[in-house]
Amino acid sequence: AERAWHAKQLLTRVVHADVHDVVVKPRSIGLLFLNPPYGFGLKDDARNHADADAGNAERLERTFLKKTVPFLQLGGVLVYIVPFYALDDEIRTYLARNFTNLRFFMAPEQQFKQCVILGTKVKPGHPRKDALDMLAKAQAGELLGPVLPEGWDDEPYTIPPIIEGSDFDFHAVRIDGPQLADELA
């Protein structure tokens, strides 16, 4: 909540809500800064089982990636922050199929073993072997050296503007009391 209220002071439009309570028009966003919750969520068929374990669950990092990437327009930029060990085969393949110019860095702060992956969205295609290999090494802990730099000397990622004439739709279907009061004011 604190981050969302701070962001509202800096940005034109901010929604603070569960991702499942947000409506976003597909292919309408130029930058997706994704730092999902870490760990396992339950599959629908496992919700009623008291003994649910990781075998009945999907990693939240994967769920959030697949849920939100469709919001990103072609040429849009992904910033994906997750623990490096969460880069399972499905996440690696998804990234390699849907993004080009993939770069991997370790986060400067390592309490949660986070990495930062940057990429530019493209039309889905065959996963590139070089990207798959790089991400597999990252997941195995073999790329722990490159840390996200404070300054950027490489070719910059270009965030595309909102498509002219498009009906940009980005809102929450449920909000809490303080946000409602702020909206009404």
DSSP track, the chain: -HHHHHHHHHSS----S-GGGEEE-TT-EEEEEE-PPPSEEE-GGGTT-TT--GGGEEEHHHHHHHHHGGGEEEEEEEEEEEEGGG--HHHHHHHHHHEEEEEEEE-S--TT-EEEEEEEE----SPPHHHHHHHHHHHTT---SPBPPSS--SPPPPPPPPPTT----EEES---HHHHHHHH-
pTM above 0.85, yes or no: no
For the chain, the straight-line distance linking the first and the last C-alpha, in angstroms and rounded, comes to: 19
User: What is the structure's pLDDT at 118?
Assistant: 96
d(CA 47, CA 29): 32
Paired tokens of 9: 């002071």
The residues pairing with 49 across neighbouring beta strands, listed in sequence order, are: none
Give the pLDDT confidence score for residue 83 in this predicted structure: 93
**Amino acid, res. 95:** L
Q: Contact at 8 Å (CB) between 52 and 42? A: yes
Q: From first to last of its 185 residues, what are the pLDDT tens digits of the chain?
A: 888 889 889 987 788 888 888 888 888 889 999 988 888 886 554 444 444 455 557 888 999 999 999 999 999 999 999 999 999 999 999 999 999 999 999 988 878 889 999 999 999 999 999 999 999 999 998 887 788 888 888 888 999 987 766 666 677 778 788 878 877 88
Residues 6+ apart with CB under 8 A from 127: 92, 93, 96, 97
Q: What pLDDT is recorded for position 2?
A: 87
**CA-based nearest residue to 78, from 44, 19, 120, 42:** 120
Instruction: List the structure tokens of 8.
Output: 């509202």
What is d(CA 91, CA 89) in angstroms, rounded to the nearest whole number? 6
